[in-house]
Structure formats: structure tokens, C-alpha cells
């Protein structure tokens, strides 16, 4: 399988800057999201900055690359608070001996304050994500608007404010272009389903820009809830995803069901002195719950990952972010920018069967 090679070439296409470099390989230090949001000059620009900033600060905690040293410091303080809490409630309440019973209030208060501060300071703590900024026409380092700038000979647009250089192809959805209302599939979630992969997720596109991503569970919900042509399309995509991780799902669900049955039956028979079931009925009920959970595991998306969805959707020439048709351009590298949402994807070679 040329899968690893494909992934490597996807990284090579425009290169998602792994160590925060601009397109002339110079290190950049991005502004904080809060600073980026404040800098708008027109209503349209401010709107785009606000939306992008809101989204980036929402996903920032999941993206370590956007972390700043102050976030690490905050994590250490939070960790220390938890250790303090354990020490205080454990067998050796040294803090209680020192401070009396007031000590019991300290750790929860410290943790609550830490969580509140971390939540409030999120956009200040986290850095704006360079390729995501450039895609919408802002400098990836300082956030300055790149409107009306012409590319240099190497096809890079140079920021007049900080000198960072960004390849022109990265601007796939400039803030000054007419606003687009991007529709993404939003299938109703099935009741009582166990979701192992979140319905909301984000992925770097081929240009390293962070975009909302369609997840395995979203594909499954689309396949099972949409009707007609659209539904048939989703079902064929889901049929390709379904075999991924099937063995792992089978083993996990069999082990889960077997454990539930063995534990509750042996409990009901009194084989576990510490865990005797009140009755056979209770044992049967616990077994049934275990089997139901195992069945949900088997029917779910466990062991499928977002990358699998990206691969299958690009094979179908669909955008892995908004599910719209990608229009292939005559291009050796098969890099296609989605005309609907502006994300960039690498399509498999056209002659591949
Ligand atoms: Zn700049
Ligand atoms: Zn798209």
C-alpha cells in the first residue's frame, strides 16, 4: 500500500509548517488569538477575525502546537493542586494538621480558580495558528491583513508588517472575498448510540490549515439517516469505512460481553465473596447490559480514525471538511482547493483504479 508515501507527499505538497516556519523557512512566533481578533479595521474583516478566533480558541486545547509556556505553567499549577488534594484527603492529612479543617477547602478552591482562569484566558494563552490565518488572508505571524499585496518572484506574499512570507496558494478563502455560508453535513444523532469518535473534530488539510473535519461517526449517522441518492452515496462511503478496525471491534465487544456475563453469573452463584449478586435476576440484568454495550461497540466506529475518513472521501473526490464535490484541476500534484469551504486536499492519482 502506498499509504505512508501518500501521507508523506501530502505533507510535502505545501508543507504544514511543523515547527512554526514561514514559507521561506524562517521561524515565526504567532500572535495570541486575542490579539489577532482585536486587529480588524472593517466590519467584514472584524467578523472574519472574530469567527476564526472563536473557532481556534475552541479547538486550541486539543492542539498542543498552539500551546504557550504559560499554558504549561498553568497545567503544572493545576497538577500540583490535584496532588495537594490527594495528600490532604489521603491517610496523611499534613495540610489539615497545619491549617486545621480549613485545609479541606484549599484544593477544590485552587482547582476551581485554575479552571476558571484557564477558561477565561484561553484566547490569550493560545497562539493563532499560522496556516489557518494565511488561508483567510492574514499574516500567519502577526495577523496583519494581506489584502492588495502582490506575490514576489518565489510566489510568496511578504507581510509588510513583520516580513513573514507566505505562498500565495495558501490564500484559499481570503476574508475580503464574498462571504460564504459553508454547509456541512449535520445528520441527526441516533439515540442510545455510543460515540467513540466525537462528531465534531478538526483536521489539518493538505496546506496545514485547521478545518472542521467529518468524523467516522458523522459518516455513519449520514449513512443511516439520509434517504435517496444522498443516502446511497453515504452508505457506499460507510461501506468502505466499516471494515476498518473490524477485528479489533469484534475482539473488544466479545471480551466486553464475556466479561459482563462471567462476572455477573459467577457473582450470582456466590463465587466472588466480595461481589455476591442479590439474585439471579440482577445477574441476568447486568449481563444483558454488558451484551447491549458490546453490541453498541460492534455497531459503532471504534478503531476508525479521522485519517481514514479523509482518505476515503478524497478517493470519492469529496471534501473531507464539508463533503462537497472537489473539482480536480489539471495538476501533477492533484492539490485541489474546495470551492465551497476553501480547504485544500490532495486527491489520489486519477489513473489509480
Ligand atoms: Zn506579519
Ligand atoms: Zn469543502
pLDDT at 86 over 70: no
What are the CA-CA distances from residue 43 to residues 15, 46, 48 (Å)? 32, 5, 9
* CA angle centred on 314, ends 309 and 315, rounded to 5°: 100
User: Which-ligand-closest: CA of 182?
Assistant: 2
Question: Residue 344 pairs with which residues in a beta bridge?
Answer: 337
Using pLDDT thresholds of 50, 70 and 90, give the confidence band for residue 16: very low
pLDDT score at 146: 95
CA distance 28 to 20: 6
* 230 or 75, which is more confident: 230
Burial profile 51-83: b = 16 or more Cβ within 10 angstroms, e = fewer:
ebbebbbebbeeeeebbbeebeebeeebeebee
Give the pLDDT band (50/70/90) at residue 131.
Answer: very high
Q: What per-residue confidence (pLDDT) applies to 353? A: 42
Closest by alpha carbon to 67, among 16, 27, 121?
A: 121
Query: Quick one: pLDDT at residue 93?
Result: 57
- Give the distance (Å) from ligand 1 centre to CA of residue 140: 6
Residues with CB under 5 A from ligand 1 (ion): 139, 141-142, 144, 159, 161-162, 164
Q: How far is the CA of 177 from the centre of ligand 2 (A)?
A: 16
Nearest bound ligand to CA 165?
1
- Considering the chain, what percentage of its residues have pLDDT values greater than 90? 39
**Residues 46-59, mean pLDDT to the nearest whole number:** 92
* R_g over Cα of the chain: 26
**Euclidean distance between CA atoms 224 and 231, whole angstroms:** 7
Least confident range from 46-50, 71-75, 209-213, 305-309: namely: 71-75
Q: How far apart are CA 18 and CA 224, in angstroms?
A: 37
Q: 272-319: per-residue pLDDT in tens?
A: 665 555 667 777 888 898 899 899 888 888 888 888 999 999 999 999
- Say yes or no to pLDDT of 322 above 90: yes
Ligand 2 centre to CA of 45 (Å) is 21
pLDDT of residue 236: 94
- Note if the pTM is more than 0.85: no
Query: Would you kindly state where each structural domain of the chain is located, as residue ranges?
Result: 3-65+126-170, 68-124, 201-243+304-346, 246-299
Amino acid at each position: 500500500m502506498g499509504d505512508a508515501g501518500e501521507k508523506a507527499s501530502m505533507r510535502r505538497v505545501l508543507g504544514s509548517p511543523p515547527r512554526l516556519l514561514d514559507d521561506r523557512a524562517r521561524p515565526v512566533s504567532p500572535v495570541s488569538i486575542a490579539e489577532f481578533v482585536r486587529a480588524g479595521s472593517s466590519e467584514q474583516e472584524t467578523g472574519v477575525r472574530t469567527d476564526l478566533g472563536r473557532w481556534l480558541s475552541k479547538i486550541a486545547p486539543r492542539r498542543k502546537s498552539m500551546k504557550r509556556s504559560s499554558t504549561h505553567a498553568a497545567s503544572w499549577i493545576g497538577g500540583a493542586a490535584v496532588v495537594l488534594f490527594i495528600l490532604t484527603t489521603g491517610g496523611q492529612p499534613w495540610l489539615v494538621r497545619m491549617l486545621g479543617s480549613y485545609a479541606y477547602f484549599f484544593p477544590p478552591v485552587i482547582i476551581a480558580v485554575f479552571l476558571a482562569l484557564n477558561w477565561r484566558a484561553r484566547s490569550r494563552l493560545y497562539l493563532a495558528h499560522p496556516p489557518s490565518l494565511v488561508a483567510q488572508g492574514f499574516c500567519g505571524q502577526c495577523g496583519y491583513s494581506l489584502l492588495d499585496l502582490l506575490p514576489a518572484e518565489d510566489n510568496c506574499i511578504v507581510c509588510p508588517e513583520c516580513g513573514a512570507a507566505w505562498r500565495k496558494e495558501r490564500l484559499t478563502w481570503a476574508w475580503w472575498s464574498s462571504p460564504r455560508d459553508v454547509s456541512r453535513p449535520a445528520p441527526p444523532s441516533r439515540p442510545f448510540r455510543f460515540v467513540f469518535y466525537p462528531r465534531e473534530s478538526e483536521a489539518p488539510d493538505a496546506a496545514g490549515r485547521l478545518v472542521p473535519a467529518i468524523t467516522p461517526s458523522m459518516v455513519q449517522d449520514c449513512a443511516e439517516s439520509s434517504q435517496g441518492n444522498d443516502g446511497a452515496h453515504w452508505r457506499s462511503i460507510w461501506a468502505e469505512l466499516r471494515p476498518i478496525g473490524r477485528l479489533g471491534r469484534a475482539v473488544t465487544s466479545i471480551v466486553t460481553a464475556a466479561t459482563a456475563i462471567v462476572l455477573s453469573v459467577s457473582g450470582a452463584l456466590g463465587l466472588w465473596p466480595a461481589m455476591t449478586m442479590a439474585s439471579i435476576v440482577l445477574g441476568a440484568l447486568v449481563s444483558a447490559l454488558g451484551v447491549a454495550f458490546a453490541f453498541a461497540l460492534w455497531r459503532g466506529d471504534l478503531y476508525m480514525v479521522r485519517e481514514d475518513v479523509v482518505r476515503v472521501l478524497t478517493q470519492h473526490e469529496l471534501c473531507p471538511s464539508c463533503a462537497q464535490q472537489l473539482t480536480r484541476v489539471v495538476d501533477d500534484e492533484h492539490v485541489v482547493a474546495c470551492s465551497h469551504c476553501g480547504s485544500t486536499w490532495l486527491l489520489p492519482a486519477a489513473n489509480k483504479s
